[in-house]
Amino acid sequence: MKNKKLSIFSIACLCAIALQSLASAAWANDLQSWQKGVIEGAFIFSPYLRSKDIRVEIQNNFAILKGYVDSETSKALAEQFALSVKGINKVVNRLIVAPEQWESSVQSVELQKDNQNRLSNVTITNKVRSQLLANRITSGIEIDVETRNQVVTLSGSVNSEAEKILMYWLVKNTQGVKQVVDKLEIVPESSQHAVVQLTEQLDHRE
């Protein structure tokens, strides 16, 4: 009987460890997605970094940068941007300084932009919604998406600043989106539940 109890206890411990490992893995994936989005966003909006052809990979606590830049200064600046992101302790900088290659990539990007300009607002809205639904974090969040002249306006509520930032960059990196107007409000999940409960109580009284 004693051995049986020990066996049950051992199984319970193994299950607990397995669940904890799965939760840790999910959290790590979410963090890496956030880090990748922040780094790419810094590259896109920096007026000092010519970085239209940089690819970012996140592995554990370090970032890998690949692609082409126009100068050693841009290469060093890209590395510093990546290092400044929370949780990134090391950068593997594989960027190649090749001005001619960079100019070629710029022409390619400009051509892509011309094609993107032809996308209708409806198409962009559908793409944005698909992006949000495909992401594990944002898939369950009800957000209003409105597109006018390739400018996407997001409105609704999210649980945290991290969710807000992730949603912004997911939309910003969607094909055809020129600009994102962020009207999202941060409302902790507990507060949202309280509002829902109050609404249900009022409905029952009526």
Contact (Cβ atoms closer than 8 angstroms) between residue 160 and residue 27:
no
Is there a domain that residue 14 lies in? no
Q: Over 60: is that where the pLDDT of 89 sits? A: yes
Based on the domain organization, do 102 and 183 belong to the same domain? no
84, 101, 100, 83: which is closest to 92 by C-alpha? Answer: 83
Instruction: Average the pLDDT over 168-191 and give the result.
Output: 84
Among 83, 114, 145, identify where a domain stops. Answer: 114
Is there a domain that residue 7 lies in? no
Q: What is the CATH number of the domain that holds 176?
A: 3.30.1340.30
Dist. CA 156–CA 187, nearest whole Å: 9
Query: Considering the chain, what is the average pLDDT of its residues?
Result: 74
Is there a domain that residue 105 lies in? yes
Question: Regarding predicted confidence, which is higher, 144 or 2?
Answer: 144
The 143-148 sheet, strands edge to edge = 143-148, 151-158, 179-186
The pLDDT tens digits of the residues spanning 149-168 come to 889 999 998 888 888 888 89
pLDDT value at position 196? 45
Q: Over 50: is that where the pLDDT of 107 sits? A: yes
Based on the domain organization, do 132 and 87 belong to the same domain? no
Instruction: Average the pLDDT over 18-35 and give the result.
Output: 60
Based on the domain organization, do 143 and 105 belong to the same domain? no
Q: How far from the centroid of its chain's Cα atoms is residue 36's Cα? A: 7
pTM of the entire predicted model: 0.41
Is there a domain that residue 42 lies in? yes
pLDDT value at position 153? 94
Q: Over 90: is that where the pLDDT of 83 sits? A: no
Among 114, 146, 179, identify where a domain stops. Answer: 114
Dist. CA 90–CA 79, nearest whole Å: 9
Q: Over 80: is that where the pLDDT of 101 sits? A: no
Counting the structural domains of the chain, the total is 2
pLDDT value at position 18? 45
Based on the domain organization, do 59 and 124 belong to the same domain? no
Where in the sequence is the domain holding 177, given as residue range(s)? 117-206
Based on the domain organization, do 60 and 125 belong to the same domain? no
Q: Over 60: is that where the pLDDT of 46 sits? A: yes
Is there a domain that residue 10 lies in? no
Which range is least confidently modeled, 56-65, 89-98, 116-125? 116-125
